[in-house]
Amino acid sequence: MRKNLLLGFALMLLIVFQALGQTDVTISGKLTDKEGLGIPGVSVAVKGTKLGTVTDADGNYTIAVPKGSTLIFSGVGYKNKAVVVGDQTSVNATMESDEEITGIVVNAYGQVIDKTTRTGALTSVSGKDFENLPMQSFDRAMQGRMSGVAVNAASGAPGGGLTVRIRGTGSVLASNAPLYIIDGVQVTPGATSGQGSTNTLGSINPNDIESIEVLKDAASGAIYGAQSANGVVIITTKKGKKNTDNFSFTMQEGFVQPIRLHEMLNGRQYATLKREGAVNDLFQPQIAAPTQAQIDAAIANTNTLYGNPDDPNLTNFDWKKNMFRTARLRTYDLTYSGGGDKSRFYVSAAYQRQEGQIIKNQWERLTLRANIDVKSSKRFALQSNNSVSVQGIFGSIAGGEGNFLNSPFFGAFLSAPTKNGYNPDGSFAQYTDGVLSFNYNILQGVNQEVRRGSGVQFVNSLRGTYTIGGGFSVTSFVGVDWLNNRDENIRPASIAAFAPGNMTNRYDRDLSMNTSHTVNFNKTIGQNHNITALAGYEYRFRQAMFTSALGRAVNPGISVLTGGVANGTTSTTVSTVGGNVFESDRAGFFGQAKYNFKEKYFIDGTFRRDGSSKFGANSRYGNFYATSVGWRISEEAFMQDIKDQVSELKLRASYGYVGNSEIDDYRNVTTFAGAGVYAGTNAIRPNTLGNDLITWEGSRQTNVAVDYGFLRGNRIFGSLDFWRRDTEDALFSVTLAGDAGVRPSNVIRNVGKIRNQGIDFEVGAVLFNNPEKLQWTSSFNITYQENKVLELPEGRNLLLVGGVEVFKNYSVNSYALPTYAGVNPATGQGMYYDANNNIIYQPLGYVVDANTNAINFRDSKIQGSSLPRIFGGWNNSLSYKGITLDFLWQYQYGNVAYNSDYWANLHNSMEGGDNNVTKALDRWTKPGDITNVPRASLAGTYNGVSTSVASTRYLEDASYLRLKTVTLGYTIPAERLKGFKSARVFVQSVNLLTFTKSNIIDPEVVGTTGNVTSLLNGINQFPQGRQFSIGASLGF
C-alpha cells in the first residue's frame, strides 16, 4: 500500500513537471507599417491552434502561446507574416504593404497613385484574380469586376474581341473605346487580322499581368488630355522580385461547348410547313378562292422543292450537328523571375490554342516577354518591357460574322433539312434548285474554302529615371507598338457558287510610337505638407497601311496571285488591287500638381494642351484640364473614438474637361476615288467631303464620391460615386442641301451633345481571415447608368447614321418600333397597335416634319435601349487548408435586344427554302387558334401585308445573370513536395450557368453597327462557349 502511494505521488510530480515545462508564454508586441505607425485590426493567430487575437487601435497586442509556437500576422492591405516564438516575451513586427490590395497605380508617366490619397475615380483588379483563367485577352478579366466598366464579348469566335465601355456611350461617329496603356505604351485596340476576327489586346498573355487599373473620370484621366474622354485602362505587367529566384510552369487542357443553339425543324416538320405555306398563299382575301387543281399543283411543287412530308424515306439531315463540335483548348505557360539589389528580371513564354465551335476553325497564340529593371546607381534607374506575340486563325468563316450569306454559323440553321450535305459516296452534294441560298452547300464551303490569318505584334518600351535630388527627378520614355498581319482567303472553283474560284490576299501594318519626357517633384515639407508635381511633353506617331489583291479563276494548287491563273482566263477577270496608307501624329504639353495636408485634405490640378494632325490648322489644338479635392474625415480628431467602427471615410469631388480624338484619318480633307473612264481618260470623283473646322469631341465630367471602410483594418470597404459625363461638340454626319451641287452630300461636323450619368457602387468584405482555417473575401459592384442624346445637328429630332436612327431626348441605342399585338384568331394575320392602342395590320413608321423637325412616331414608339440600365458583378475568393474556391457572377439588367436570328429563322425564313426554329410549330393553322406566331406563307405576305414586319415581336429583354468563372484548386503542402517549391492543381469553368428570359443564343454577344443600335444586331454572331478545363502549376 505504501509503495503504491509513493508510486502515485511520483507520477503526479512527473505530470506536474511536464505541465510546467509546457507553460504558456505571454507575448506582447506592436505591429507597425513602414512609417512606424501602429496598425489596428491585424489578426494575430497561433499556427496549428485555435488561439488568436487582434491588435488594438495603436497596433498593440497580447497573447499567451506555447513556447516554440509560430505567430501568423495577417491584415487587410498587408502581406501575411510568420514569426517563430523562442524565449522572448516581446515580438514586434513591421508589416509590408500589399500593393495589389491597397491599390497602388503607376500611370504612363511613372507617377504613383495611391487609393488612400486619390481624389479621382479609379478601380482596379489584381492579376491574381484571373490567374490561369483560359482567357484569350486581358480585357475579359475586367468583366464583372469593376463598377462603371461594361465589358461584353463582341464575338464568341476563337480569338474574338470584346466591347469595353467606361461610363456609357459618348459618341456616335468617333470611337467609344478607352485608351489602353500597356507598360506606358499606348496600344490601339482592334483586329489583328484584316478579317476582323482577332484582337490586338490578345497580344498580351493575361498571366503576365500584375494589375489592371481603370481611370474613370476627368480628375484621374485628364493628364492624357484628348485621349481620355472614354476612360483609360492601364495594364502593368509583372516584374522580378528582389532576392528571389522563381521558376514556374502551368499547363491546362480543356474543351468548349456551345452554350446553347437554336432548335430547328426536322425534315418532316420543315416539309409540312412549306406545303402549308404554299397552300395558305392561295387563300387571300383580295383574290378568288383557289381551285383544287391549283392546290394540288402547289403541293406538287413543294414536294419537289422541299420534300414530301408523307414520304417515309424523307431526308432528315442535321446541318447543325454536322457543323458544330466540342472544341479543345490547351495552354502552356512558363515563367522565370528573380533579382538582386541592382537588377530584377521577369521572362515568360506561353502558348495557347483553341478550336472553334465550328468545324475546321482554330485560333492559336504564342507570346514571349522579357521585363528588366536595372538600378545602375543610387540616382539612375532603367526599365525595359518587351513582348512579342504571334496569333493565327485558321479555317473558313465565309462572309464573316454579321453576314447573312454563306456563313457557316448562319448556314447551319438556315439550310434545308431535306437536303443532304453529302452524296452517298461521301462527296459534297450539289444543288441547282435554289432551295439552298445561292445553291451553296455550307459544309462544302467550310471544308474546302481556305482561310488563314496571322498577326505578329511587338510592344516594347524603355524608361529611364534620373534622381536629381531635393525631390526632383527626370524621366524619359519611348514605347513602340508594331503590328504586321497577313490574311489569305481561297474559294476554289469546286464550290459552284464561287466558280471560277477566287483568292484574296491582304497585308496590314500598323506602327505607333509614343515618347514622353517629364520633370517630377515629390517632397514632404515639414511633416505635414506633401507635394507631388510633374511637367512634361509627349509625342505620338501612327502609320496604318494595307494592301489587298483579289485574283479570279486561280489555280487552287498555287497559293499566289500571279502565275496561278487558269488557262484561258481574260485579264479583265484576273485581279483587283487596292490599298491605302493612313498617318497621323499628336503632340502635347502637360502639367499636374497634387497637395495634401497630413494626408487629410487634398487638392489636385491637371492641365494639358494637345495638337493633332487629324484636324484642320485652325482647330487642331485644344486645352484640357481637371481639378479635384478630397477630405479624409476619418483622420479628424472627432473620429478617433469610433476608429474601430469607421476605419476609413473620405469625401472627394472632381470636375474636368477632356477630349476624344479617335476618328478616322483625313476626315478634315476631301478625298477622291476612281470614277471609271471619261472621254478616254481615267476619271476621279470626290469620295468623302472634308471639313477643316472639325475638332475634338469635348467631354465635361463631374464626379462626387465617398470612400469608406468599417471595422478594424477595413474589414468592410468600398466606394460610392455619383457621376455625369456630357459630350459636347459630338461628331455627326450632316446631309447638305440638295442644291449644294456636291456629291457625296454628307459632311462631318461637331454639332451634337450626348449625356451619360449614373452611380457606381463597390463594396468588399473580409468575411473570414484565419490563415490556419477559413479565409473568405467577397466583393460586389453595381452601376446604374442613363444615356440621352441632348442635341442633334441643326435642331433636328432625328438623324440617320448609316441607316440607323438616333433620336433626340432618347438613348443613342434606342429602338423605335410598332408594338406587336399577337395574331388574329380568325385569319392568322399578325396584328399591331396604333398610337391610340387600336388594332391595325399594317403599322406606319415615323415621319419627320420638314419645317419643324418634329417627329410623328405614328404607329411606332421608343421601345427601349440596348444599353443596360444596371450591370455589375459579385466576386468571391475562399481558401481552407490549401483548398481554394473562386467564383464570379456577372449580370446586366434593363436592356433590350432585337432577336435578329429569330427574325431570320422564324418569319423571314418561312419565305423560300430556309429552315425555321421550332417556334414555328406554334404558328396559326386554323380559325380559332390562339398564338403569337402568324400563319405560314412562302410568299411572305397576307392580304398585301408583309408577315415579317419589324416590331416588338422580336424585341426581347436581354437581361441576364451569368456564373462567369469558377475555379476550384488545391495547393499541395510544402512539406509533401520533393524537388518543387510549390504545386497546385485546379479545375475551371467559364460561362457555366446563364439565366435569361431571352431566346437569343447569347444575350451578351449582341453585335452593333458602329456605336448605335441596328435591327441586325446579333445576326450571325458567334456565341460564346461553355468552357471546362483542368490544370496544374509547378514552382521550382
- For 913-925, write each residue's pLDDT tens digit: 889 999 999 999 9
> pTM for this structure?
0.86
Contacts for 840-848 with beta carbons within 8 Å, 24 or more apart? Answer: 841/943, 841/945, 842/945, 842/949, 843/818, 843/949, 843/951, 845/816, 845/818, 846/798, 846/816, 848/796, 848/797, 848/798
**DSSP, res 293:** H
Per-residue pLDDT reduced to its tens digit, 850-871: 777 778 888 889 999 989 999 9
% of residues, the chain, pLDDT over 70: 86
pLDDT band at 308 (very low <50, low <70, confident <90, very high): very high
Average pLDDT taken over every residue of the chain: 84
Confidence band, pLDDT 50/70/90 cuts, at residue 564: very low
In angstroms, the CA 516 to CA 823 distance is 65
What number of other Cβ atoms are within 10 A of residue 379's Cβ? 12
Q: What is the pLDDT of residue 1011?
A: 44
Cβ 392 vs Cβ 192: under 8 Å: no
d(CA 211, CA 127): 5
Q: Residue 899 pLDDT > 60, yes or no? A: yes
- On the CB side of 984, CA atoms within 13 Å amount to 21
Domain extent, residue 55, equals: 21-97
Strands (E), 598-696: 601-612, 621-632, 646-660, 671-678, 681-688
When pLDDT is cut at 50, 70 and 90, the band that residue 190 belongs to is low
Better-predicted residue by pLDDT, 117 or 790: 790
Q: Please, which pLDDT band fits residue 741 given cuts at 50, 70 and 90? A: low
* Residues 107 and 78 both lie in one domain: no
Residues contacting residue 577 through CB under 8 Å, at least 6 positions apart: 547, 548, 549, 550
Q: For residues 772-784, give the mean pLDDT.
A: 92
- Lowest mean pLDDT, pick from 88-92, 422-426, 499-503, 504-508: 499-503
CA dihedral 630, 635, 640, 643 (to 10 degrees): 70
**Tell me, what's the pLDDT at 381?**
92
Question: Residue type for 8, please?
Answer: G
CATH code for the domain of 89: 2.60.40.1120
| Grid cell at residue 126 | 489584381
Confidence of residue 353 (pLDDT cuts 50, 70, 90): very high
Instruction: Give the pLDDT band (50/70/90) at residue 743.
Output: low
Are 969 and 986 spatial neighbours (Cβ–Cβ below 8 Å)? Answer: yes
| Residue 210 falls inside a structural domain | yes
* Same domain flag for 212 and 81: no
Residue 413 maps to a domain: no
* Burial environment of residue 979 by CB neighbours within 10 A (0 to 12, 13 to 18, 19 or more): exposed
151 and 88 fall within a common domain: no
**Do residues 423 and 145 touch, judged by C-beta distance below 8 A?**
no
Please check the confidence at residue 599 and state whether its pLDDT lies above 80: yes
Q: Which of 21-30, 219-228, 364-373 has the lowest mean pLDDT?
A: 21-30
Which tens digits make up the pLDDT trace of 819-847? 999 999 999 999 999 989 999 999 988 78
CA separation for the pair 948, 906 (Å, rounded): 9
- Tell me if 214 sits within 8 A of 123, measured CB to CB: yes
Segment 1005-1034 shows an average pLDDT of: 70
Predicted local confidence at residue 802, as pLDDT: 62
Residue 193, domain CATH: 2.170.130.10
| Higher local confidence (pLDDT), 325 or 578 | 325
Q: Which residue has the higher pLDDT, 52 or 99?
A: 52
| SS3 assignment, position 48 | coil
Q: Look-up: residue for cell 492641365? A: 607
Q: Average pLDDT for residues 300-310, to the nearest whole number?
A: 94
Q: How many residues does the chain have?
A: 1036
C-alpha cell at 423: 452524296
How far is 193 from 177, CA to CA, in rounded Å?
18
C-alpha to C-alpha distance for 620 and 610, rounded to whole angstroms: 8
- In tens, the pLDDT along 715-731 reads 999 999 999 999 999 98
Write the Ramachandran bin of 940: left for phi over 0, alpha for psi from -120 to 50, otherwise beta. Answer: left
Asked if 217 and 105 sit in the same domain, the reply is yes
User: Can you tell me the mean pLDDT for 406-416?
Assistant: 80
* Residue 968 grid cell: 476550384
Q: How does residue 326 score in pLDDT terms, banded at 50, 70 and 90?
A: very high
Closest CA to 812 of 878, 918, 873, 727: 727
Is 36 a member of any domain? yes
Domain-ending residue, one of 53, 74, 97 = 97
pLDDT per position as a tens digit, 440-469: 888 988 888 888 888 899 999 999 999 998
Same domain, 152 and 168: yes
- Sequence-distant (≥ 6) Cβ neighbours of residue 205 within 8 angstroms: 333, 348, 350, 367, 369, 387, 389
**Neighbour count for residue 872 (Cβ, 10 Å):** 25
Residue 804 has phi, psi (to 5 degrees) of: -115, 140
Kindly state whether residue 338 falls inside one of the protein's structural domains: no
Task: Evaluate the omega torsion of the peptide bond into residue 793 and state whether it is cis, within 30 degrees of 0.
Answer: no
- Residue 932 inside a domain? The answer is no
Instruction: Count structural domains, the chain.
Output: 2
**Taking 80 as the threshold, does the pLDDT of residue 419 lie above it?**
yes
Q: Is residue 78 part of a domain?
A: yes
Q: What is the pLDDT of residues 291-301, one digit of tens each?
A: 999 999 999 99
d(CA 923, CA 3): 102
**48: alpha, beta or left, given left = phi > 0 and alpha = psi -120 to 50?**
left
pLDDT at position 561, please? 52
**CB-based contacts of 133: which residues, under 8 Å, 6+ apart?**
140, 141, 206, 965, 967, 988, 990
Do 201 and 75 share a structural domain?
no
User: What pLDDT band is residue 945 in, cutting at 50, 70 and 90?
Assistant: confident
Q: 779, 650, 621, 644: which is closest to 708 by C-alpha? A: 650
Under DSSP, the state recorded for 940 is S
pLDDT of residue 45: 80
| Same domain? 155 vs 116 | yes
**pLDDT recorded at residue 926:** 94
The predicted pLDDT at position 559 comes to 56
Backbone φ and ψ for 295, nearest 5 degrees, come out as -65, -45
Q: Which residues are paired to 578 by β-bridges?
A: 548
Q: What is the pLDDT of residue 9?
A: 40
The DSSP-derived string for 509-554 is: EEEEEEEEEEEEEEEEETTTEEEEEEEEEEEEEEEEEEEEEEEESB
CB contact at 8 A, 396 and 887 = no
Q: Span 609-626, mean pLDDT?
A: 92
Tell me which of 916 and 10 has the higher pLDDT: 916
The answer to whether residue 186 sits within a structural domain is yes
Query: Is 157 contained in some domain?
Result: yes
> Domain check: are 141 and 214 in the same one?
yes
Asked if residue 191 and residue 133 are part of one domain, the reply reads: yes
Q: Give residue 910's pLDDT.
A: 66
Same domain, 159 and 35: no
Q: Select from 181, 210, 241 the last residue of a domain.
A: 241
Can you tell me the mean pLDDT for 281-287? Answer: 89
Main-chain phi, psi angles of 269, to 5 degrees: -65, -40
C-alpha cell at 595: 497637395
Identify which of 254-258, 399-403, 1017-1021 has the greatest average pLDDT.
254-258
Query: What gap in Å lies between CA 789 and CA 81, rounded to an integer?
Result: 54
Residues 185 and 230 in one domain: yes
Q: 23-65 pLDDT, tens per residue?
A: 578 888 888 876 566 776 677 888 767 677 778 767 788 888 8
Residue 246 confidence (pLDDT) above 50: yes
Backbone φ and ψ of 789, nearest 5°: -85, 115
The answer to whether the beta carbons of residues 39 and 713 sit under 8 Å apart is: yes
Examine the pLDDT at 912 and tell me if it is beyond 90: no
Q: Which of 186, 216, 241 is the last residue of a domain?
A: 241
Mean pLDDT of the region 366-393 = 93
What's the Cα-to-Cα distance from 662 to each of 108, 394, 567, 667, rounded to whole Å?
19, 31, 48, 11
Cβ contact 454:483 at 8 Å: no
Q: How confident is the model at residue 735 (pLDDT cuts 50, 70, 90)?
A: confident
Q: Beta strands 450-469 and 472-491: pairing type?
A: antiparallel
- 668 three-class SS: coil
Interior CA angle at 980 toward 977 and 985, to 5°?
75
Spatial distance between the Cα atoms of 432 and 877, rounded to a whole number of angstroms: 59
Contact 867, 785 (CB under 8 A): yes
Q: Do 84 and 123 sit in the same domain of this protein?
A: no
